[in-house]
Structure 1
């Protein structure tokens, strides 16, 4: 086999891998957006985190073996990236709060009561630790405890116990 043939095969494999990755990312990009919303306060930070998670997903994609669903693997990489960057950002200057960002929503699309409930929930979630936030996020995504445990790298029993404790903590925060 000539060098040119080897390069051609490698290029084809890279293009196939890239196409598979982009297809899966497009199909599951809401996962990344939800993680970004949970760990950021403004649109710029959200976009930066989305970009960083996408880079980390792309770097790790060749090692994805398919032992779990792509979405489960994507949750894990996204949450780990967000938690790592969140911890680093605690040491830096805080940016503009998301409430001060103007959103272009028409009056018929806007539900004030729902918006207030979401703000309260996000404010309560921001008071939780990094792993607790991730656990609640997966729970709210209707993941079962087995999937939550696999994504976070804990046992299913531990996930259940932590979730019960978090629910009690959130009740205390939301209903003082």
Structure 2
């Protein structure tokens, strides 16, 4: 790709970067993997941008969520197929200093992320949209299902999270 990103694209990316970063946080534990996923999502958004046509009844965030979630889920499936990387020896862990603040999350937040990590890819998408305070109508648009289905699935996902948090 030789064309420079348009000003509209850069403005949208700036406005919605936190949204993309939250998707990355839910689908990747490792900071390097999160950064790789972020870059892949941005690349796919850039590629799709020329085909984006604003709709009066649809939000830009809905379009961005669809692409970000699809890329995140595809990326996760590819990572699962790859062999596991060799980790640091236990003695070397004290040398690693997190740069994204993840080691400084309150324990409740860390426990919630651990519980979310145990959910399926689709259930993670529901949690993300719920935590973003997206209305069921927008969730339905993003996920391509009915609002009633969103309500049912949200209830089930919340129950799964409650059970996992009680166990820990």
Aligned to 2:74: 84
Unaligned runs of 5+ in 1: 1-13
CA gap 1:104/1:35 in 2 versus in 1, 3 angstroms:
closer
Residue-pair matches, total: 156
| 1:104 Cα offset (Å) | 5.8
The answer on 1:28 being equivalent to 2:16 is yes
| 1:31 Cα offset (Å) | 0.6
1:118-144 deviations in Å (ceiling 9; x for gaps):
111111111111111001100000001
Q: Which runs of 4+ in 1 moved over 6 A?
A: none
**Distance of 1:142 and 1:23 partners within structure 2:** 22
Structure of larger gyration radius? 1
State the TM-score, normalizing by the size of structure 2.
Answer: 0.84
Aligned to 1:7: none
**Distance of 2:164 and 2:112 partners within structure 1:** 10
Aligned to 1:44: 32
State the TM-score, normalizing by the size of structure 1.
Answer: 0.81
Aligned to 1:134: 125
Aligned to 2:137: 146
**Distance of 2:99 and 2:132 partners within structure 1:** 26
Structural RMSD (CA): 2.4
Higher relative contact order at CA 8 Å, sep ≥6: structure 1 or structure 2?
2
Unaligned runs of 5+ in 2: none
